[in-house]
């Protein structure tokens, strides 16, 4: 089993679609926070660029994140994301101090 880690997901809405993206991201919060291995799943919006959202995540293992990625709520989000999502990137971080 892998070590715990932090992840930062960057999600950029298509022009004029930030409210739609925010609504979809908010819908992911409760079911994701209830998942085994999820220690944190917090949504943030960039103050300088309202199209940019960040999900700050803490996972107990790679396996927990893989289970999250395979979950019904994430699969449903991905199926509709091309309508409102311009860009997605996930960075995995190791805590040093």
The mean of the pLDDT values for the chain is 97
- 31-45: pLDDT as tens digits: 999 999 999 999 999
Which parts of the chain have pLDDT scores under 50?
A: none
What does the angle CA 93 – CA 43 – CA 77 come to, to the nearest 5 degrees? 95
The b/e string for 23-43 (b: 16+ C-beta within 10 A; e otherwise) is ebbeebeeebeebebbeebee
- pTM of this structure: 0.94
Domains of the chain (ranges plus CATH)? 5-93 (3.30.70.100)
Give 68-80 pLDDT, tens digit per residue.
999 999 999 999 9
């Amino acid at each position: 089993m892998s070590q715990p880690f932090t992840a930062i997901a960057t999600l950029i809405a298509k022009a004029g679609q930030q409210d739609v993206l925010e609504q979809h991201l908010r819908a992911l919060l409760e079911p994701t926070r209830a998942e085994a291995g999820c220690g944190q799943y917090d949504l943030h919006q960039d103050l300088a660029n309202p199209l940019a959202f960040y999900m700050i995540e803490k996972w107990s293992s790679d396996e927990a994140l893989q289970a999250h990625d395979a979950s019904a709520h994430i699969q449903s989000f991905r199926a509709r994301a091309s309508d409102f999502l311009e860009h997605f990137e996930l960075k995995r971080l190791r805590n040093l101090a």
